[in-house]
Amino acid sequence: MPPPETMYCSQQIIIPKGLPNILKNFTKAAIRTQPKDLLVWSAAYFDALSKGETLPVKERLELNVNDKNKDATLTPGLLKTLHKQLSAAETCSREQLREKWKSLCLPKEQLENMLILGNFDTDITWMQFFAVGCSALGDTFKTSLKVACEILTEDEEGAAARIPFDIFAMLCTYLAHLDPEIQQENIDSFLTSLEPQVEKQQGMIKPVDFIYREDAL
């Protein structure tokens, strides 16, 4: 006779402590991040979780960010996630960047084009790559800087999006040097013209201070 089927009851099944909370957080993270490849992203998520590293997770769901391109591509939310993962150190290696990029299911071709644009070596200055990422998200030089402010700000969403002027000036100068049509004197004049407003704001700058100006940049 075949052995009787094993019978289970709720008292026999032990749910590991913490599992429900882990699965709930994972589900929320997947919904917010909307990874193109759930398996690849899930492996990266639990690997980071086990190591106590910053998770490859967006802070909030981004709606309609890929209407022009149905394939996965860099978004402000994903660039902010990369910034949280890689900005702790001044530099990162190409391998580190490629690993984090892949974990967010972003296209390899886009990363390689950005590395070429910034002429990056083996060791990458993170804030310079971040600036290139902002340029990939902005239609113009100033909208790229606006994206940077919105990602880096500690203001609440929808507020002024202020950031320290020294960080703004560094990003502005770096991006300008990538554009052969922008002259150094134009950069200097642009930054100097912002200083009175920055002084009133205790060393901070916000997009409205520069986005509507009719400068030569």
pLDDT for residue 67: 47
pLDDT for residue 213: 83
| pLDDT tens, residue by residue, 25-74 | 999 999 999 999 999 999 999 999 999 999 999 999 998 665 444 567 99
| Secondary structure element (H or E) that encloses residue 181, with its range | none
HEC string of 103-172? HCCCCHHHHHHHHHHCCCCCEEEHHHHHHHHHHHHCCCHHHHHHHHHHHHCCCCCCCCCCEEHHHHHHHH
pLDDT at 8 over 80: no
pLDDT for residue 27: 97
Supply the DSSP string of 26-81, one letter for each residue.
Answer: HHHHHHHH--SSHHHHHHHHHHHHHHTPPPS--SSPPPSTTSS-SS----HHHHHH
With tokens 């860099």, the residue in question is 74
16 — pLDDT class (breaks 50, 70, 90): confident
| Secondary structure element (H or E) that encloses residue 178, with its range | helix 165-178
CA separation for the pair 144, 200 (Å, rounded): 24
12 — pLDDT class (breaks 50, 70, 90): confident
| pLDDT tens, residue by residue, 93-135 | 999 999 999 999 999 999 999 999 999 999 999 999 999 999 9
Query: What does the domain layout of the chain look like in residue ranges?
Result: 70-209
pLDDT for residue 157: 87
| pLDDT tens, residue by residue, 185-212 | 999 999 999 999 999 999 999 999 999 8
Separation of first and last alpha carbons in the chain: 86
Q: How many CA atoms lie within 13 A of 40 on its CB side?
A: 14
pLDDT for residue 1: 54
| pLDDT tens, residue by residue, 136-186 | 999 999 999 999 999 999 999 889 999 999 999 999 999 999 988 888 899
* DSSP character at residue 206: -
| pTM metric for this prediction | 0.88
| Residue (of 110, 116, 117, 173) closest to 141 by Cα position | 173
CA separation for the pair 87, 43 (Å, rounded): 22
